[in-house]
Amino acid sequence: MRIGTNWRHEVVLLGGALFLGLFVWMGSRLLGKTDSTSIQGYGGKLSTKVVTVLERMNEDLRSARGILAAQPGRIRFIDKAQNTKEYSFAYGTLWCNDFPVISDVRAFHFEYRDSDGNLLTRAGENLSAVETVAYTIRVAENETDVLTSSRIRIPSVWPNEKLNSPHQTAWTASANR
């Protein structure tokens, strides 16, 4: 490299390129392989109740042993205690097993990714490919919209682990579509 009048410009460009490369690499790693469990509000502060519910949902997803349904507004799964659990969004409310857990929800959706980090647009048709569940939620807090998201890695139990649940037939039928 020739040191002249533009050497500072070249160093800044090289540093920027390295930073961008690191940023892209870290982003690709986050999409495919890791959990993102920090629950922070963007645009404001989340209430303690909202944070507690989202932490519980993250823990429930982390303990999932079989996915029964996967849609943008709903996920139903079997947990490690062999119980069926469902989270869904309807009528401005986040629900857990038909009980409202967060109200004043402006927007909510799940997305599902495979082991390579690819978005599964038809996850409900290939439940065994789901390795990561992510969600984004926007809630009204003190008359301000607050946004947060999480990404949870689902334990791999397909198809080797047998589930002893009354819902096993539904699980097996869904998995074999």
Domain that holds residue 27: 1-32
Nearest to 162 by CA among 78, 75, 93: 78
Nearest to 49 by CA among 112, 110, 126, 101: 101
Together in a domain, 77 and 144: yes
Together in a domain, 46 and 27: no
For 79-131, strand residue ranges (E) read: 84-90, 93-96, 99-102, 105-113
Together in a domain, 106 and 147: yes
Sheet with 93-96: list strands edge to edge.
Answer: 66-71, 74-78, 84-90, 93-96, 99-102
Give bridge partners of residue 112 from the DSSP assignment.
133
Together in a domain, 147 and 161: yes
Contact 103, 92 (CB under 8 A): yes
Please tell me the total count of domains within the chain. 2
Each of the 177 residues of the chain gets a pLDDT tens digit; together they read: 455 556 565 555 455 444 444 443 444 444 444 455 556 666 678 888 999 999 999 999 999 988 999 999 999 999 888 899 999 999 999 999 999 999 999 999 999 999 898 999 887 788 888 999 999 999 988 778 888 888 999 886 544 444 444 444 343 333 333
Together in a domain, 25 and 7: yes
Strand 99-102 versus strand 93-96 pairing type: antiparallel
